[in-house]
């Protein structure tokens, strides 16, 4: 039986977000290998997780080393060299002041959930602020503070207040600068959401799953200043766009802010499950045994993450992502298709917003067909956005310029084919996407 059919028979739909029937047996560099041997250019990197591409020698070596003499299995009741070294490196690369600590986890979800619980407990404040469209994870606690339409059915945390994210392409109240949103937040903090009751503001420095939205210049700086005025901690969720992807080690560096807590995931492990929160000791050290799972800080995943960070620095992957990303964005703009409303991003975090017409009507069906057609043509990427109409490109940071050019060509062809009706609706029937 074909691998995809075997998957249908045994794997739970609860953990599926599928766009086309891709079934993998291997991968190397920026390429995935399908059953049957076809090679696909991966422009998603598994939503950014495979930050160094597949089967990277540095990660293979690190994992093999960690398993050849295994320093335990957990961090709870024993410490281990790889976990401590990873935490030391995270502190070294993450700007911040005073006594700080690192919490290690498995996923962006558990890291955001821990940050949420810790800021509440440590400050004694119950309220949390976040953005409409924000995706902070898929565990109960991280969903409770998210604002993504894919989680509409989830009961939100009682103290949660969501505010609009500034989208220069679809401005809130016609104001592309973000000032109207800042005024709205200030009014809330001085009124019905008293600032002194708010523990933290959760921020994505680029709103990824909400539509790969890059905030206008200065917005996050002003928001951080506003938070500081009320003693509200800023939690920067760098899970998808952090760690060299945007052309800087941290995406928040583009904004000139220094968040109180920084959350890492996805690309940190290069494909292995590991996440981290970096923040003040008064928050991350305020109690013992507060947020732990047995395999948190296990030496294998910690070694992989350390290898990822070392490779990023040694190979200057932030600079590489900046340059290849700029070339890719230029190529995408040069496609000059009227169904492309906007091309935006930083480095290798790129969004291509598809529209129906000059009124910018979101083209969700076109996005579904485009990603399907691109897979047929040999490239993998998905779409995001509250209207499901933004192609998201987060390829491995090691992507070459030639691979980027090839990717742009496939994207252009896929959009044209999809717009001209060359993708059969029946084929998409079982792929709901999101
Ligand atoms: C994916 C994502 C998460 C959740 O990470 P998981 O590894 O899926 O738990 C959190 N925040 C952002 C910004 C993400 O993109």
d(CA 384, CA 378): 20
Nearest residue (by CA) to ligand 1, atom 10, is 136
- What's the CA-to-centroid distance between 29 and ligand 1, angstroms? 23
| Burial of 48 per CB tally in 10 Å (0-12, 13-18, 19+) | buried
Kindly provide the b/e burial profile for residues 241-250, where b requires at least 16 CB atoms within 10 angstroms of the residue's own CB. bbbbbbbbbb
- What's the CA-to-centroid distance between 87 and ligand 1, angstroms? 20
Look at residues 324, 332, 349 and name the one whose alpha carbon lies nearest to residue 267. 349
Which uninterrupted H or E stretch holds 84? helix 81-93
Residue to substitute in 136, 273, 384 for testing ligand 1 pocket (most ligand atoms within 8 angstroms of CB): 136
Print pLDDT tens along the chain (434 aa).
999 999 999 999 999 999 999 999 999 999 999 999 999 999 999 999 999 999 999 999 999 999 999 999 999 999 999 999 999 999 999 999 999 999 999 999 999 999 999 999 999 999 999 999 999 999 999 999 999 999 988 888 889 999 999 999 999 999 999 999 999 999 999 999 999 999 999 999 999 999 999 999 999 999 999 999 999 999 999 999 999 999 999 999 999 999 999 999 999 999 999 999 999 999 999 999 999 999 999 999 999 999 999 999 999 999 999 999 999 999 999 999 999 999 999 999 999 999 999 999 999 999 999 999 999 999 999 999 999 999 999 999 999 999 999 999 999 999 999 999 999 989 998 898 89
- What's the CA-to-centroid distance between 266 and ligand 1, angstroms? 7
Residue with tokens 């799972």: 293
d(CA 379, CA 382): 10
Query: Is the CB of residue 49 less than 8 Å from the CB of residue 270?
Result: yes
Ligand 1 atom with least separation from CA of 266: 7
Give every CB contact of residue 60 below 8 A, 6+ residues apart in sequence.
none
Q: Domains in the chain, start-ordered, CATH in brackets?
A: 61-314 (3.40.640.10)
Ligand 1 atom with least separation from CA of 275: 7
Residue to substitute in 137, 242, 296 for testing ligand 1 pocket (most ligand atoms within 8 angstroms of CB): 137
Ligand 1 atom with least separation from CA of 273: 7
Note the pLDDT of residue 64.
98
Query: Is the CB of residue 106 less than 8 Å from the CB of residue 296?
Result: yes
- What's the CA-to-centroid distance between 24 and ligand 1, angstroms? 22
d(CA 50, CA 27): 11
Mapped onto helix, strand or coil, the DSSP state of residue 403 is helix
Residue to substitute in 49, 107, 148 for testing ligand 1 pocket (most ligand atoms within 8 angstroms of CB): 107
15 — phi, psi (to 5°)? -110, 25
Query: Is the CB of residue 333 less than 8 Å from the CB of residue 398?
Result: no
**Catalytic annotation on 169?**
no
Residue to substitute in 240, 296, 392 for testing ligand 1 pocket (most ligand atoms within 8 angstroms of CB): 240
Ligand 1 atom with least separation from CA of 209: 15
d(CA 117, CA 433): 30
Instruction: Decide the pairing of beta strands 127-131 and 160-163.
Output: parallel
Q: How many angstroms separate the most distant Cα atoms in the chain? A: 62
d(CA 98, CA 56): 35
Strands (E), 67-111: 100-105
Note the pLDDT of residue 354.
98
C-alpha dihedral, 337 to 412 to 134 to 397, nearest 10°:
-130
d(CA 106, CA 123): 25
Ligand 1 atom with least separation from CA of 138: 9
Residues with CB under 6 Å of ligand 1 are 47, 107-109, 112, 135-138, 204, 208-209, 237, 239-240, 265-266
d(CA 122, CA 106): 22
- What's the CA-to-centroid distance between 136 and ligand 1, angstroms? 6
Give the pair of three-digit tokens for residue 91.
Answer: 């502190």
Nearest residue (by CA) to ligand 1, atom 5, is 108
Give the pair of three-digit tokens for residue 118.
Answer: 């810790």
Length of the chain: 434
Ligand 1 atom with least separation from CA of 47: 1
Which residue is catalytic, options 4, 54, 135, 382? 135
- What's the CA-to-centroid distance between 265 and ligand 1, angstroms? 7
266 — phi, psi (to 5°)? 30, -100
Query: Is the CB of residue 390 less than 8 Å from the CB of residue 212?
Result: yes
Look at residues 33, 127, 96, 41 and name the one whose alpha carbon lies nearest to residue 410. 41
Give the pair of three-digit tokens for residue 153.
Answer: 């059915």
27 — phi, psi (to 5°)? -175, 150
Give the pair of three-digit tokens for residue 273.
Answer: 């499950």
- What's the CA-to-centroid distance between 234 and ligand 1, angstroms? 17
For 346-399, what is each residue's pLDDT tens digit? 999 999 999 999 999 999 999 999 999 999 999 999 999 999 999 999 999 999
Look at residues 112, 48, 46 and name the one whose alpha carbon lies nearest to residue 240. 48
For 134-181, what is each residue's pLDDT tens digit? 999 999 999 999 999 999 888 888 899 999 999 999 999 999 999 999
Cα 75 to Cα 84, 100, 179, 196: the distances in Å are: 10, 18, 45, 35
DSSP 215: P
């Amino acid at each position: 039986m074909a691998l995809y059919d075997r998957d249908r028979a045994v794997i739970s739909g609860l953990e599926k977000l599928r766009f086309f029937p891709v079934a993998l047996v291997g991968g190397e560099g920026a390429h995935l290998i399908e059953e049957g041997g076809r090679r696909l250019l991966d422009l998603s990197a598994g939503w950014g997780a495979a930050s160094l591409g597949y089967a990277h020698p540095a990660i293979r070596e690190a994992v093999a080393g960690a398993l050849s003499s295994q320093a335990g299995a957990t961090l709870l009741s024993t410490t281990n060299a790889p976990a401590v070294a990873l935490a030391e490196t995270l502190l070294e690369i993450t700007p911040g002041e005073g006594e700080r600590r690192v919490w290690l986890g498995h996923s962006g979800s558990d890291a955001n959930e821990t940050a949420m619980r810790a800021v509440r407990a440590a400050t004694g404040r119950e309220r949390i602020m976040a953005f409409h469209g924000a995706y902070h994870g898929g565990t109960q606690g991280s969903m409770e503070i998210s604002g993504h339409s894919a989680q509409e059915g989830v009961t939100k945390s009682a103290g949660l207040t969501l505010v609009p994210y500034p989208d220069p392409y679809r401005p809130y109240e016609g104001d592309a600068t973000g000032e109207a949103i800042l005024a709205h937040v200030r009014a809330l903090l001085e009124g019905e959401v008293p600032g002194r009751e708010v523990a933290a503001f959760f921020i994505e420095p680029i709103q990824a799953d909400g539509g790969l939205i890059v905030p206008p210049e200065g917005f996050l700086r002003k928001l951080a200043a506003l938070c500081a005025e009320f003693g509200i901690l800023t939690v920067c969720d760098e899970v998808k766009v952090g760690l060299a992807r945007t052309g800087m080690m941290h995406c928040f560096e583009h904004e000139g802010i220094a968040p109180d807590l920084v959350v890492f995931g996805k690309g940190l492990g290069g494909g292995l499950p590991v996440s981290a929160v970096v923040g003040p000791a008064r928050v991350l050290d305020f109690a013992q045994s507060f947020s732990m799972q047995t395999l948190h800080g296990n030496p294998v995943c910690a070694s992989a993450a350390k290898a990822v960070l070392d490779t990023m620095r040694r190979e200057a992957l932030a600079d590489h992502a900046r340059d290849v990303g700029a070339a890719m964005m230029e190529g995408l703009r040069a496609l000059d298709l009227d169904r492309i409303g906007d091309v935006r991003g930083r480095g290798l975090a790129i969004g291509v917003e598809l529209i129906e017409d000059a009124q910018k009507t979101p083209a969700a069906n076109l996005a579904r067909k485009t990603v399907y057609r691109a897979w047929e043509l040999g490239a993998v990427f998905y779409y995001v956005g509250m209207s499901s109409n933004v192609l998201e490109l987060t390829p491995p940071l090691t992507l070459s310029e030639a691979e980027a050019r090839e990717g742009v060509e496939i994207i252009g062809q896929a959009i044209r084919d999809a717009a001209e009706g060359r993708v059969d609706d029946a084929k998409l029937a079982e792929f709901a996407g999101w």
